[in-house]
Amino acid sequence: LFQPESEVETDERGFKLYDVLDALYMDKMVKSIHDWMESTASAGVVAEGPLSRREDLKNTDDVYILIVEGFLLYSYEPLNEVWNRRFFLTLPYEECKRRRSTRVYQPADTPGYFDGHVWPMYLKYKNELEENASNIVYLDGTKSQDELLSFVYCDIIQELEKLKE
């Protein structure tokens, strides 16, 4: 969830800086995730922190999985304690620019915004992840949605099976 346009900073070129943490209501996201975790825990499902205690998985048939989608997720420290698995979608420049050009944003992208802000921020964030974050599975965003979803599903099932052993 983005801050109102009037609250989003503008850089020296006049680009609204939507691809930074301050442009988002990250505290609301953290609260929503923790609320979900608490509600599943109250239903008898182990959900405090990462599901790493094998005995907890062995003693239940119910496992709830929350998938959180968004950009900048892994650079917000309060969320890093809740991730069991991290996926990062990669795209080459041309494909990313093509997809972005087909979307309608409110407010609309200003001319040069993709090359002047969006792509450089994607590269910065990706480089930071490669240097600092562990346990990230990089996904080829040029593959079909079905292929990507199938891969993620199989990966999650494999991870759950490992935890149950």
DSSP sequence for 43-68: TT---SSSS--HHHHHT-S-------
Domain that holds residue 114: 5-45+63-163
**Would you say residue 51 lies in a domain?**
no
Token pair in block for residue 117: 């802000």
**Would you say residue 57 lies in a domain?**
no
**Would you say residue 54 lies in a domain?**
no
Nearest one of 151, 29, 147, 164 to 83, comparing CA atoms: 29
**Would you say residue 157 lies in a domain?**
yes
Q: Give the pLDDT confidence score for residue 93 in this predicted structure.
A: 98
User: Whole-number mean pLDDT of the chain?
Assistant: 84
**Would you say residue 151 lies in a domain?**
yes
**Would you say residue 132 lies in a domain?**
yes
Decide if pLDDT at 45 tops 50: no
Q: Give the pLDDT confidence score for residue 94 in this predicted structure.
A: 97
* CATH number of the CATH domain containing 145: 3.40.50.300
Decide if pLDDT at 6 tops 70: yes
Q: How far is CA 163 from the centre of its chain?
A: 23
The string of pLDDT tens digits covering residues 100-156 is 999 988 878 889 999 999 999 999 999 998 988 778 999 999 999 999 999 999 999
Domain count, the chain: 1
Cα angle at 146 between 143 and 165, to 5 degrees?
A: 105
**Would you say residue 52 lies in a domain?**
no
Decide if pLDDT at 51 tops 90: no
* DSSP state for residue 4 in the 8-state scheme: P
**Would you say residue 150 lies in a domain?**
yes
Place of tokens 């930071």: 128
- For the chain, first and last CA: distance in Å? 38
